[in-house]
Structure 1
Amino acid sequence: MKITKLTTYLAPPRWLFLKIETDEGIVGWGEPVVEGRALTVQAAVNEMADYLVGKDPFLIEDHWTVLYRGGFYRGGAIHMSALAGIDQALWDIKGKALGQPVHALLGGQLRNRIKVYSWIGGDRPADVATNAKEVVARGFKAIKLNGCEEMQIVDTNEKVEKAVETIAIIREAVGPHIGIGVDFHGRVHKPMAKVLAKELDPYKLMFIEEPVLSENAEALREIANHSSTPIALGERLYSRWDYKPIFEGGYVDIIQPDLSHAGGITECRKIAAMAEAYDVALAPHCPLGPIALAACLQVDAVSYNAFIQEQSLGIHYNETNDILDYISNKDVFEYADGFVGIPQGPGLGIEIDEAYVIERAREGHRWRNPIWRHPDGSFAEW
């Protein structure tokens, strides 16, 4: 079997899909994208296609190694996201050719399902208590929201009180046993992150996510000293080498590699194993489309330390299209009792509605994240 063609599709609301074809008619699908940089990743995939066409798709580890190490410059969001989507598609081809789900090729599943959480609210938390109740009523046992709006490097007690009030309202609304993840989204710097972590401790959160940006990871140790809440981080780390100092520093309790950003199934499987050796939990980041979610579930299935999975069904970004729109087997993601089942079909286990992908790609997208500013006019992290 040989790879014959790579085709990318810009699919609303903000995704990029990749189709890899072979001379035996078996195709694989991947989702290589950086939100807001989809066209750049698309160009990187097209560059990598020069090497892949004519190659045996089964040699996934070798292809990954060449596509990563074969260029003098390596790593980072664009390179690793392009490689991630290619990797996903190659695993999809191999699983389909062998009639096995990817998790069977990775050693076999050690769980039948995994807990999931759902986002509530939007970029600026509002009406969150009502939204949280609605999500819990749909069967979710865990939720996540943005913990604060823009925050200066040193900000006011009023800002802190507003953030704490939001979480207090949610905790009261959903009761003591629903997991609550609070995402600081890298909006907060060390001086205020210490304050927020301490003030939120009484609400028994499931985790605090990105209390500071990944490049300021050395601050996490001090932040952890102000709170007993688990700290999660990792959506903006792209390889096992990026994660190495995080593990060695003992900075985090939960890692969140993104299967469409961090080198795909091949790399995230290795990152998960590294985390297990440091007694760190796995909760893959996935506010993306159906291919990304299916890839995450393959790794969840074989990772002992996986405990919860992010998913984007009904997320506020998905205004024009949602994850089920692009697949034919819409029951593949079996949501029940706060869990989702592990797909059992060959490859990634999903059947892409290619005609619909092509139709929506005619519209495409140019999604960009908002640009925020503080009252003094300076840039604010989104």
Structure 2
Amino acid sequence: GRQGGGVSGVEVALWDLAGKAYGVPVYQLLGGKFRDGVRLYCDTDAHGKGDGRAMGQALKARLAKGFTFLKMDLGASLLFDVEGALSAPLGFLDQFKAAWRTAETRQASPQPQSAERRREEEVLHIPHPFAGLQLTEKGLDWLEGYVAEVRSVIGPEVPLAIDHLGHLNVESLIRLGRRLEKYHLAWLEDPVPWQYTDQYARLSRAVAIPICTGEDIYLKENFRPLLERGGVSVIHPDVLTAGGMLETKKIADMAAEYGVPVALHMAESPVGCLAAAHVAVAIENFLALEFHAADVAWWSDLAAGLPEPFIRDGFIYPPDRPGLGIDDLNDEVLREHLHPGIPGLWEPTDGWNETWAHDRL
């Protein structure tokens, strides 16, 4: 999964070099185009949006920018301060909330991890079925009301996907899913860790909302059980997690045989974004590509040679230029936005060798 990022990044770089060597866009090397434009779905997290109307207004601002597909967070973390909304072993919920909030304020860094941070990570890495966390009727009412408020602001027509449901068991997810069916959601994403194929199959059969996972899955063979068992209605691979561009295309082609569309996960720089876009135009069953940088004014300045404007009416268009279509990286902009825990640009990456990933493997 995330630990395959190095392999995936090298694979993307090699496709860029191959495209430049042959003088053709990478999408042509992947078999050619099914479409010109790549629809983006705009992701919006729940930070600072304590009620559904506030989230609805944030999503409505995305629509005003031309995005045609939306996603928002919804889950147990929204209920941490709602008394009586969650049931858990006494004392565990306070421990879990403290670890969650500490992790929210800390960005990824290759610095050595302290014993305290490892203890926090152990709490957050408990697989969902083992956390003992359940929604109460009050919690179900609150979350349903939140979604109803969002829909009252953005209307019924735009697709709305749901992410970050939290460490809930399948029973709570089924109860929540049935409550939310009337709001015709685009999908429920990563409800349980991807390894639990039988739980995905059970959830998919119990709830009339598409179920989606895949951003943590490495290589085609690990997607196959979910497709064979009917555990997913949408798959969600990431080019920089799944093994690279060709592997992602193979995954998508396999999903097409099961009638399953592909929404690509993407929370990356313009390099990763264009790599995903070249894959997106080259697969038949593409649905939408994730986009997190709608509020980051300098994001497209990280690379030189990008189309202007980069996003047009909620779509991006991979350049008809050799390779990925990027001339170079912009070191000046990169240096300006370095993580505080990283001392300089293009430093050795040995520190990442001892950093925990989020794979639960």
Q: Do both share a fold (TM > 0.5)?
A: yes
Q: Is structure 2 residue 153 aligned with structure 1 residue 173?
A: yes
Match of residue 283 from structure 2: 303
More strand as a share of residues? 1
Q: State the Cα distance separating 1:149 from its structure 2 match.
A: 3.1
CA contact (8 A) 2:71 2:160 kept: yes
> 2:168 aligns to what SS in structure 1?
coil
**Structure 1 pair 184–354 and aligned structure 2 pair: CA distance change class (3 A):** closer
**Structure 1 pair 94–290 and aligned structure 2 pair: CA distance change class (3 A):** same
Name the CA distance, whole Å, in 2 between partners of 1:276 and 1:124: 38
Q: Is structure 2 residue 229 aligned with structure 1 residue 249?
A: yes
CA contact (8 A) 1:125 1:147 kept: no
Unaligned runs of 5+ in 1: 1-75, 367-380
Q: Is structure 2 residue 119 aligned with structure 1 residue 143?
A: no
> 1:310 aligns to what SS in structure 2?
strand
Q: Is structure 2 residue 92 aligned with structure 1 residue 92?
A: no
Deviations 1:296-330, CA, capped at 9 Å, x for gaps = 11111110001111112236xx6xx7531301234
Unaligned runs of 5+ in 2: 78-85, 89-132, 343-359
1:93 is aligned with what amino acid? L
Q: Is structure 2 residue 46 aligned with structure 1 residue 122?
A: yes
Name the CA distance, whole Å, in 2 between partners of 1:196 and 1:124: 23
Structure 1 runs (4+) greater than 6 angstroms displaced: none
Q: State the Cα distance separating 1:159 from its structure 2 match.
A: 1.7
CA contact (8 A) 2:174 2:203 kept: yes
Deviations 1:154-200, CA, capped at 9 Å, x for gaps = 22122222221221111111111111001135532212110111111
**TM-score normalized with structure 2 length:** 0.74
Q: State the Cα distance separating 1:123 from its structure 2 match.
A: 4.7
Match of residue 187 from structure 2: 207
**TM-score normalized with structure 1 length:** 0.70
**Structure 1 pair 358–334 and aligned structure 2 pair: CA distance change class (3 A):** closer
**Structure 1 pair 322–248 and aligned structure 2 pair: CA distance change class (3 A):** farther
Deviations 1:112-144, CA, capped at 9 Å, x for gaps = 112211122335753202101111111111110
Deviations 1:213-262, CA, capped at 9 Å, x for gaps = 21223112222233221111111111112112111111101111111111
Name the CA distance, whole Å, in 2 between partners of 1:330 and 1:346: 12
Q: Of 129, 133, 138, which aligns to 2:60?
A: 133
State the superposition RMSD in angstroms: 2.3
Q: Is structure 2 residue 304 aligned with structure 1 residue 328?
A: yes
> 1:116 aligns to what SS in structure 2?
strand
Q: Is structure 2 residue 175 aligned with structure 1 residue 195?
A: yes
Match of residue 111 from structure 1: 35
Deviations 1:59-79, CA, capped at 9 Å, x for gaps = xxxxxxxxxxxxxxxxx431x
**Structure 1 pair 164–106 and aligned structure 2 pair: CA distance change class (3 A):** same
Q: State the Cα distance separating 1:348 from its structure 2 match.
A: 0.9
CA contact (8 A) 1:333 1:343 kept: no
Q: Of 240, 252, 261, which aligns to 1:281?
A: 261
| Greater relative CO (CA pairs within 8 A, separation 6+) | 2
Name the CA distance, whole Å, in 2 between partners of 1:333 and 1:347: 19
Q: What is the percentage of aligned positions where both structures have the same residue?
A: 27
Match of residue 77 from structure 1: 2
CA contact (8 A) 2:234 2:263 kept: yes
